[in-house]
Amino acid sequence: NSNTLAHVALIPSAGMGHLTPFLRLAASLVQHQYCQVSLITPHPTLSLAESELISRFCSAFPQVNHIQFHLLPFDAATANATDPFWLQFESIRRSAHLLSPLLSSVSPPLSAVICDMSLIYSVLPVTKSLSLPTYILFTTSARMLAFFSCFPIVHGFPTASENYASFDGNVLEIPGIPPLPRSSISPMLLAPNSLPAKILMEDNSILTKLNGVLINTFQGLEGETLEALNNGKVIKELPHVFPVGPFTPREFERRDQSGAALKWLDDQPADSVVYVGFGSRTALTRNQIREIGDGLLKSGCRFLWVVKDKPVDRTDEEGLDEVLGHELLDNMKEKGLVVKTWVDQVEVLSHKAVGGFVSHCGWNSVTEASYCGVRVLAWPQHGDQKINAEVVEMSGLGMWMKNWGWPGEDVVKGKEIGEAIKELMSNESLKTSAAAIKEAARKAGTGVGGGQEASFKRLINEWNK
Ligand code: BUP
pLDDT surpassing 60 at residue 95: yes
Q: Best mutation site among 117, 188, 364 for ligand 1, i.e. most ligand atoms within 8 A of its Cβ?
A: 364
**Cβ of residue 306 lying under 6 Å from some atom of ligand 1:** yes
What atom of ligand 1 comes closest to residue 278's alpha carbon?
A: 1
Ligand 1 mean position, distance from CA 384 (Å): 14
Question: Measured in angstroms, how far is the CA atom of residue 345 from the centroid of ligand 1?
Answer: 8
Q: Is the ipTM beyond the 0.85 threshold? A: yes
Whether 89 is in the pocket of ligand 1, judged by its Cβ within 6 Å, is no
- As a whole number of angstroms, the distance between CA 389 and CA 454 comes to 28
Q: 463: Cβ below 6 Å to ligand 1?
A: no
For residue 181, is pLDDT > 60? yes
Task: Dump pLDDT digits (tens) for 139-168.
Answer: 999 999 999 999 999 999 999 889 899 999
Report whether pLDDT(314) > 90.
Answer: no
Give me the mean pLDDT over the 188-206 stretch. 96
* 107-140 pLDDT tens trace: 999 999 999 999 999 999 999 999 999 999 999 9
> What is the whole-number distance in angstroms between the Cα of residue 342 and the centre of ligand 1?
10
Helix (H) or strand (E) holding 11, with range, is strand 6-11
Q: Is 116 a catalytic residue?
A: yes
Q: Which of 43, 83, 97, 116 is catalytic?
A: 116
Residue-wise pLDDT tens digits, 389-438? 999 999 999 999 999 999 888 899 999 999 999 999 999 999 999 999 99
Candidates 8, 99, 19; CA nearest to 55 is 19
Least Cα distance to 427 among 342, 356, 351 occurs for 356
Q: How confident is the model at residue 17 (pLDDT cuts 50, 70, 90)?
A: very high
pLDDT the model gives residue 273: 98
Neighbour-count burial of 336, counting CB atoms closer than 10 A to its CB (0-12 exposed, 13-18 middle, 19+ buried): buried
What value does the mean pLDDT take over residues 316-322? Answer: 89
| Ligand 1 closest atom vs CA 20 | 16
Confidence at residue 109, expressed as pLDDT on a 0 to 100 scale: 97
Mean pLDDT across 344-371? 97
Average pLDDT over residues 66-82: 95
Q: What confidence tens digit (pLDDT) does each residue in 223-273 have?
A: 999 999 999 999 999 999 999 999 989 999 998 777 889 999 999 999 999
What is the structure's pLDDT at 349?
97
Is there an atom of ligand 1 within 6 Å of 17 CB?
yes
Pocket test for ligand 1, best of 251, 365, 397 (most atoms within 8 A of CB): 365
CB count within 10 Å of CB 78 equals 9
Residue owning the nearest CA to atom 10 of ligand 1: 345
Alpha-carbon gap, residue 13 to 118, rounded angstroms: 7
The verdict on the CB of residue 342 being under 6 Å from ligand 1 is yes
Q: pLDDT at residue 445 above 90?
A: no
Q: What is the average pLDDT across 207-214?
A: 98
Q: Does ligand 1 have an atom closer than 6 angstroms to the CB of 381?
A: no
Any atom of ligand 1 within 6 Å of the Cβ of 134: no
267 is catalytic: no
Residue minimizing CA distance to atom 4 of ligand 1? 342
Looking at 233-339, which runs of residues are DSSP E strands?
A: 241-243, 273-277, 302-306, 336-339
Q: Return the pLDDT at 3.
A: 61
CA angle 242, 247, 253 (to 5 degrees): 145
- Is the distance from the beta carbon of residue 311 to the nearest atom of ligand 1 less than 6 Å? no
Residue 217 CB less than 6 A away from ligand 1: no
Mean pLDDT, the chain, rounded, equals: 95
Distance from the Cα of residue 196 to its chain's centroid: 16
In the predicted structure, residue 1 carries a pLDDT above the cut 80? no
What is residue 317's predicted lDDT score, i.e. its pLDDT? Answer: 83
Q: Summarize the confidence of residues 331-348 as an average pLDDT.
A: 94
Percent of the chain with pLDDT over 90: 90
Model confidence at 330, pLDDT cuts 50, 70, 90, reads very high
> In Å, how far from its chain's centre is CA 422?
27
